[in-house]
Structure 1
Amino acid sequence: METLEKIKKKQKINLIEGCYSANEASDIINSVLNVKINFHKLQRLSITEGNENDKCEMDNGRIKELMNEKEIAKSFFEHARLQGKKLKMTSTIQIEILD
């Protein structure tokens, strides 16, 4: 097994790159947002399990932000769809091991 010293400390993942129809772009972005929303919901459930008084405001706030972004994206994609436009999307995830 590799030691931590031999493993790269940074990594980039080219997640999304290309031109898409409004429907394709909408499907991709909604899928990503849904995964993140579900992640935060599961985190919230895990934290509040056994403690129904814990409001877990940080996760609730992030869920609301992401749901708001979904609504904004929906309008954006609908506008592009009505104009018959293609969309260029790029997304890179950068990961770094912290000391």
Structure 2
Amino acid sequence: MKTLHTETVTITNQKINLIEGEFTATEAGDILHAMLDKKINFHKLQRLSRTEGNINDSCKYDSGRIIELLDEKGKLKDFLTNVRADGGKLEIKSTVEIRIKD
């Protein structure tokens, strides 16, 4: 594992407490759909940047991750519809872990 040295601290990993709390189904949907949309768009832009400007590129690419995320977005929509119909609240906890790779 690599280590990042700053003036006073040595950092080898980082955790970001991204989401923590209780939400209505609508609030949870707003947050989670926005995150999924950002990630889907990230992959679409990555795919585009690999083929842009190369007239010889056959434009074949793996859209597997985009398809997975779109599927998860559909499952989330169904789940939140059921929670909303029941008037329930949701607890969401999400931590992002980042590690420096060798």
TM-score w.r.t. structure 1 length? 0.90
- 1:1-99 superposed matches below 5 A: 4-6=4-6, 7-51=10-54, 52-57=57-62, 60-99=63-102
| Residue aligned with 2:101, SS | coil
Identity %: 53
Which has the greater radius of gyration?
2
Aligned residues: 95
Q: Deviations over 1:34-78 (max 9, x none)?
A: 000000000000001134413111xx1100000000000000000
What RMSD over aligned residues (CA atoms) do the two structures have, in Å? 1.4
CA distance in 1, matches of 2:19, 2:4: 29
Which contiguous aligned blocks of 4+ residues in structure 1 show a shift greater than 2 angstroms? 3-7
CA distance in 1, matches of 2:96, 2:80: 22
Uncovered stretches (5+) of structure 1, i.e. residues with no partner: none
**What is the letter of the counterpart of residue 61 of structure 2?**
C
**What is the letter of the counterpart of residue 53 of structure 1?**
S
Uncovered stretches (5+) of structure 2, i.e. residues with no partner: none
